[in-house]
Amino acid sequence: MSADRPEIYDIAIIGAGGAGLTAALYGARARRRTVVFERLITGGQIATTELVENYPGFTEGINGTDFVMNLVAQVERFGAELRYEDVQTITPRQGEPFLVETSEGAYEAHAVIATAGADYNKLGVPGEGEFIGRGVSYCATCDAAFFQGEEVVVVGGGDAAFDEALFTTRYASKVWLVHRRETFRASALLQERVFANPKITVVRNCVVEEITGGEMVEAAELRDVQTGETCTLPVGAVFIFIGQTPNSHLLKGLVEMDEGGHARVDLRMQTKVPGLFVAGDLRTEAARQLVSACGDGATASLAAEAYLAEAGIGEG
């Protein structure tokens, strides 16, 4: 870090998920002054996952938190800075470094890699907001243990819902897997495991209309979308996995987006703004896997390095 302009970084990374931390690893190893801003927990989505079985090199899989802790230690070993600050704006300036404004202050960076990932979608039903943290959860891996011996609902039909329903059976006495359609998007292997699990009852063509309770969740009100019939499931928790929305508000008006709000980039993760890269789940056509997010982070960082070198910005 230079003495006269201590706030200028070579590379500022927004988000400390798999993509951001890998970008930081490559940036710091290239001897670039690298900072990662994180508004919540280090590791992003994968930090909430019990077991990652498809990241290459771990024969028996690896716990998400362990993976993140190893990666953070690796990143810090090469000197990247981690700042727990919420990035609020990114401003490109002609002939000047980017201005990055956070909840805590303002920074400058010659290149910016946005890896802000995605947030969980909400059902938008009565009781959902009221009971967040009191039985409504978007992370079974984090919260399932609080519902030992209780019946719970898991909502959704994709990989995350199936994965988390299986995890929840470690604690719950019974899991109601509720999906609004007849068929599921979850992978065939996960479907096989869920259907074979005696603790899970799959409820098709039903939606959760309301979540009720007192201090904690006590029931989920369901409606059959075909017959209109309703029923009440007495449960202690409702775990919701109905997709995610990319955290792309920071990039609005700056870069091109696809219909889903993901940033359009080229194969080097470069946006139309020189020096601004987007990687991981935030970019268009992402595979939304840990390995691809990390790969994107590496690609973006290498491209940022090439951009800095071409711009004649020397090593730190």
Ligand X SMILES: Cc1cc2nc3c(=O)[nH]c(=O)nc-3n(C[C@H](O)[C@H](O)[C@H](O)COP(=O)(O)OP(=O)(O)OC[C@H]3O[C@@H](n4cnc5c(N)ncnc54)[C@H](O)[C@@H]3O)c2cc1C
Give the whole-angstrom CA distance, residue 60 versus residue 70.
16
CB of 30 to ligand X, least distance (A): 19
- Give the SS3 label for residue 107: strand
Nearer to ligand X, 48 or 168 (CB): 48
Residues annotated catalytic, as ranges: 139, 142-143
Strand partners of residue 221:
210, 232
Strand partners of residue 114:
14, 278
Nearer to ligand X, 155 or 222 (CB): 155
CB of 117 to ligand X, least distance (A): 2
Q: In this structure, what are the phi and psi dihedrals at residue 292, rounded to the nearest 5 degrees? A: -75, -35
CB of 19 to ligand X, least distance (A): 3
Nearer to ligand X, 222 or 276 (CB): 276
- Residue 47 token pair: 């930090």
Nearer to ligand X, 101 or 221 (CB): 101
CB of 101 to ligand X, least distance (A): 10
Q: Which of 244, 245, 251, 243 is nearest to 269 (CA)?
A: 251
DSSP 216: S
Nearer to ligand X, 15 or 236 (CB): 15
- Residue 103 token pair: 């909840």
Q: Which of 277, 143, 299 is nearest to 217 (CA)?
A: 143
> Within the chain, how many helices (H) and strands (E) appear?
6, 17
Answer yes or no: are the C-beta atoms of 153 and 167 closer than 8 Å. no
CB of 312 to ligand X, least distance (A): 29
DSSP 80: -
Residues lying near ligand X in the complex (CB under 6 A) are found at 14-20, 37-40, 44-46, 48-49, 52, 54, 86-87, 115-118, 160, 163-164, 247, 250, 280-282, 288-291, 293
Give the whole-angstrom CA distance, residue 75 versus residue 19.
12
- Residue 128 token pair: 């959902």
